[in-house]
Amino acid sequence: MRLIEIGLVLFNVLLMGLLTLGRPKSQRGWLISSGISAVLLLVHAFVEGLRWPMIPVYLITLWAIAGGARLFLRSAARPSSKPRRRWKTVLLGGVAAVYAAVTIALPLLFPVFSFAELTGPYAIGTATYHWTDSAREEKFTEASGDSRELMVQIWYPASPKATGKAAPYLSDPAPYVEGLHELLQLPKFLFSGLKQVNTHAIANARLADTESKYPVLLFSHGFMGYKNQNTFQVEQLASHGYIVVGIEHAYSSVVSVFPDQHVVKFDSEGKTGYEQMKYSFMDGRNQVWVEDAKFVLDQIEALSANDPDDLFTGRIDLEHMGMFGHSFGGATTVQMLLDDSRIQAGIDMDGVLYGEKRIPADGLKKPFLLMSADDTIKGVDHTGDVEIAALGTDREEIAAYYDELFARYEPVTAGGNYWMTFKHSKHMSFSDLYLLTPLFEWMEGVDVRGTHELINEYTLDFFDHFLKGQPLQYLDRNLGDHPEYTLQQGAE
């Protein structure tokens, strides 16, 4: 919970106990208590914003105000001193205890989450761009001649003295809330907290002057994801001196919101369930993402040459560029390592290796780290009949799917590259999604923030070594089996 929320909840729970069991001994005491509660509520509303899990808390304030007004209108010096029957006291106490539990539980179960404190020496700036690739026709629109449009967000190191208001997690959250509700088939209220989440980034802050240039990391989200779905990770990388460029792959993201407020939604091309997982479909779809990534790299080069806002001109280290991605974005990272010489190192976070190109038997010939959730690579023997039926297929097809999956994974570590498998983790452990509510952790049996911390440690170690030339801190020291993960490296 947020700070003022905590104060309001604690005060109102105590106030409810006083009003139901102790009963204020004077009109003045009642009015002072309700006044304090009202002030806390107003400060909370203007500073933090009202939200639905706090409704039981707000009702206590309204109850206290109404009770105080009633006493004032009746001009009573004190509440009635008539003794209350014991059974009424017990009943009221029970009701108050249940109500207090609900009052405390709801904000805890549905918090406005925050991101971990930055571990790097830099503050963070962020800027958002709308770029149009006039050389490519948009295949997902009905009108012919439409060009491919992308929204891109950049996070970058800013001076530690940079000041300004923290940027919101989503600048226009309503379409994303609606999109997540529709695609994940979960209640809309579950995502409403996204509207009030803030980040550590300051919009359009000046780039830090500590270094003359900063290396670039391209980030590609998951299928049905969005450009800042890994804010837990990109902010930490920016705080350690990286320019991180998040691509939102329009029509493959949950939504994309363009500057004219035009919203485009995810387009499944009519594929659902197992049909959407097939390599024949996903390999072709991935080529659009590869072209997106190449186009964004072109735009980054243009910004480095001449940024109209004079933010990045001459400050981008084009000789040291890497890429990382979650799920389908991880697959795109591998394709870029194979297909674009500008990407020198990459990380795939739990991405099936979709794409038209295959990793050669002797490896990628570039530094690579695959991060996997143990649940993702469990294989057909650990896939239940109910799960298979929900996909609309049979065990034979799923077995063939896993055979191809492991065949594509086989050369991942060749040439000295790494494969890290997280124990007791799920596919969405590699994104911000599970921060929405601790219910996800309990239902899925995962430690979200613990996993995020490990991801950040190894991501930073990998890119610091292969893009900045710093000694490895974790990858070469922690090979083997550990309580939270296993880490393997192929022969060079």
pLDDT tens digits, one per residue of 136-192: 999 999 888 899 999 999 999 998 888 899 999 999 999 999 999 999 999 999 999
Asked if residue 31 is part of any domain, the answer here is yes
List the strands of the sheet with 345-349, edge to edge. Answer: 166-168, 198-203, 123-137, 147-158, 243-248, 214-220, 316-326, 345-349, 368-373, 418-422, 485-489, 480-481
- Residues 92, 218: one domain? no
- Asked whether the predicted pLDDT for residue 364 surpasses 70, the reply is yes
pLDDT number for residue 23:
61
pLDDT number for residue 384:
87
Q: How far is CA 202 from CA 160, 247, 317, 432, in A?
A: 11, 19, 22, 19
- Asked whether the predicted pLDDT for residue 252 surpasses 90, the reply is yes
Q: What is the mean pLDDT of the chain?
A: 93
Asked if residue 450 is part of any domain, the answer here is yes
Q: Which domain holds residue 154?
A: 123-489
- Residues 202, 78: one domain? no
The residue from 85, 109, 133 where one domain ends is 109
- Give residue-wise pLDDT tens across range 370-385: 999 999 888 888 888 8
- Residues 141, 226: one domain? yes
Distance CA 18, CA 141 (A): 62
pLDDT number for residue 76:
46
- Residues 91, 181: one domain? no
The average pLDDT across 456-479 equals 97
| HSE (side-chain half, CA atoms, 13 Å) at 33 | 27
List the one residue out of 124, 143, 328, 121 whose CA is nearest residue 234.
124
The pLDDT > 70 percentage for the chain reads: 95
Q: What Rg do the C-alpha atoms of the chain give, in angstroms?
A: 27
pLDDT number for residue 442:
93
- Residues 95, 243: one domain? no
- Give residue-wise pLDDT tens across range 267-300: 999 999 999 999 999 999 999 999 999 999 999 9
- Residues 196, 258: one domain? yes
Asked if residue 398 is part of any domain, the answer here is yes
Asked if residue 117 is part of any domain, the answer here is no
And the tokens for 33? 């208590």
- Asked whether the predicted pLDDT for residue 78 surpasses 60, the reply is no
- Asked whether the predicted pLDDT for residue 457 surpasses 60, the reply is yes
Q: How far apart are the two ends of the chain, measured CA to CA in Å?
A: 49
pLDDT number for residue 320:
98
- Considering only 114-118, 161-165, 310-314, 485-489, which range has the smallest mean pLDDT? 161-165
- Contact call for residues 126 and 235 (beta carbons, < 8 A): no
The average pLDDT across 415-426 equals 96
- Residues 342, 236: one domain? yes
Contacts of residue 471, defined as CB under 8 A and 6 or more positions apart, other chains included, come to: 465
Asked if residue 226 is part of any domain, the answer here is yes
- Give residue-wise pLDDT tens across range 153-162: 999 999 888 8
Asked if residue 116 is part of any domain, the answer here is no
- Asked whether the predicted pLDDT for residue 314 surpasses 60, the reply is yes
- Considering only 19-33, 261-275, 471-485, which range has the smallest mean pLDDT? 19-33
- Residues 151, 95: one domain? no
Burial of 154 (0-12, 13-18, 19+ CB in 10 A): buried
Query: What's the CATH number where 413 sits?
Result: 3.40.50.1820
Asked if residue 114 is part of any domain, the answer here is no
The residue from 109, 144, 162 where one domain ends is 109
The average pLDDT across 45-72 equals 88
- Residues 128, 225: one domain? yes
- Residues 105, 236: one domain? no
- Residues 131, 63: one domain? no
Distance CA 388, CA 480 (A): 32
The residue from 109, 144, 164 where one domain ends is 109
- Residues 201, 306: one domain? yes
Asked if residue 37 is part of any domain, the answer here is yes
Domain count, the chain: 2
